[in-house]
Amino acid sequence: MGLRIETARHAEKLTRRQLEELSGVSYSTIRKVERAERWPGDGILEALAHALGRTPEDLLDGPGRTDSRVHAAVPALQRAIAAYDLPEDGPVRPLPELAAAVDRAVEDRVQSQYARLAEDVPGLLAELFRAVDQALAADRAQAARCLALAIRSADAVAYKYGYRDLSARLVELMRWAAALAADPALEAAAAYVRMETFFSANQLDPGLRSLRAAIDRVPPLSTEPLMAAAAALHMRAAVVAGRMRRPDDAREHLRDAEALASRVREQLYDGTAVGPDSLEIHRLAVAVELGEPGDLREAVDAATRWAPPWDLPAERRSHYYIDLGRAQVQLGRPQHAADSLLVARQIAPQHVREHGQVRTELATMVRLTRGRDARVMALARWARAV
């Protein structure tokens, strides 16, 4: 909360002394609140909020959700999964048609078309639950596979727009559908997605253990999808270990991922982009999570020589520029970070606007520039970071 108050003060171009005059709250109290040395009472919080043109809830919980068609579609998604094992009667298209519809949902997810996805996926899930329930034994695995991938697309909406409990429920349903499909590569993809639940709960240690257990469960790497599944798990484990500030573990997982990613074509495998280019994107992410200045400078320098190819999914390309901006912020280069975020926004605006790390990054940039950089302020207001 102290950082939110400091960010709002800089956004309004106020010094602490000026905020004291506007709010009637003493300079020393403002200083202690911003530094998290004191928790303000209701009266102080209301006075600061009024002086900053905010509500107390803004300062307590952040600016809130962006306006989007996604939020209006969430109740339909909740209804679609409520009775997943007791689907109502209704029409079911042939499996090839359902598979094509799932492919479109996956494409919307990886291209960050969340509003369209949120409106389309509830009906698709309801139909797929019926398809699995009615499928003959020979078709059940294929129907379950389609269902697992559709659930993953639905989860992207829930997770990115802050519906953490709904996301956790969807992750468990994806694991259930992947088990019905009896496809070890798909089950590994479900384990990859499950890490979101641990991120949400800030339970990184059990999350890393779950990823390592999933790596151990992958059968001998006799096919390209299995190699890609293992590579994806290692890439995610490297990022998690980096966030835990465990450089040896992070680099070991990154080396294992590199050995596997170099052996597969860059493409989507069960909804996850894997290959040499995706590995480079994760290499930057690991450097950002570790936060070591030498690694950060090396990663930022590497970005002058390499950029994500345009045929990569928009979500993955935009994430690269988000992480590049985070690296630049950590190196004290907020103007360069603004350049990176503008590129990310051009690639995938819905992804960038709903990304929690982007809001944190922009709030830091507002404080670094003291609210005086017009581009930073415009980005921060667009993403509801202030």
Task: Answer yes or no: is pLDDT of 65 > 60.
Answer: no
Calpha distance 372→361 (Å, rounded):
16
Q: With residue 274 as reference, give the H or E element that holds it.
A: strand 272-274
Give the pair of three-digit tokens for residue 235: 């890439």
**How is domain 1-62 classified at the CATH fold level?**
434 Repressor (Amino-terminal Domain) (1.10.260)
Quick one: pLDDT band at residue 197, thresholds 50, 70, 90? very high
Quick one: pLDDT band at residue 385, thresholds 50, 70, 90? confident
Predicted pLDDT of residue 356: 85
Tens of pLDDT, residues 68-102: 789 999 999 999 999 999 998 999 999 999 999 99
Predicted pLDDT of residue 69: 85
- Residue 211 near residue 233, CB atoms below 8 Å: yes
- Residue 374 near residue 350, CB atoms below 8 Å: no
Domain ranges (residues) in the chain: 1-62, 67-181, 183-290, 316-386
Q: What's the distance, CA 196 to chain centroid?
A: 8
Quick one: pLDDT band at residue 272, thresholds 50, 70, 90? very high
Q: pTM (2 decimals)?
A: 0.88
At 146, which amino acid appears? C
Tens of pLDDT, residues 286-313: 999 999 999 999 999 999 999 999 999 9
Calpha distance 286→148 (Å, rounded):
28
Tens of pLDDT, residues 322-370: 999 999 999 999 999 999 999 999 999 999 998 888 999 999 999 999 9
Give the pair of three-digit tokens for residue 317: 């390309």
Calpha distance 171→104 (Å, rounded):
20
Calpha distance 340→325 (Å, rounded):
5
3-state secondary structure of 224: helix
Predicted pLDDT of residue 264: 97
Mean pLDDT across 157-173: 95
SS3 content of the chain, % helix, strand, coil (to 5): 75, 0, 25
When the pLDDT of each residue in the chain is averaged and rounded to a whole number, the result is 94
Long-range contacts of the stretch 327-333 (C-beta < 8 A, 24+)? 327/284, 327/287, 327/288, 327/296, 327/299, 327/300, 328/300, 329/361, 329/364, 329/365, 329/368, 330/288, 330/291, 330/293, 330/296, 331/293, 331/296, 331/297, 331/300, 332/368
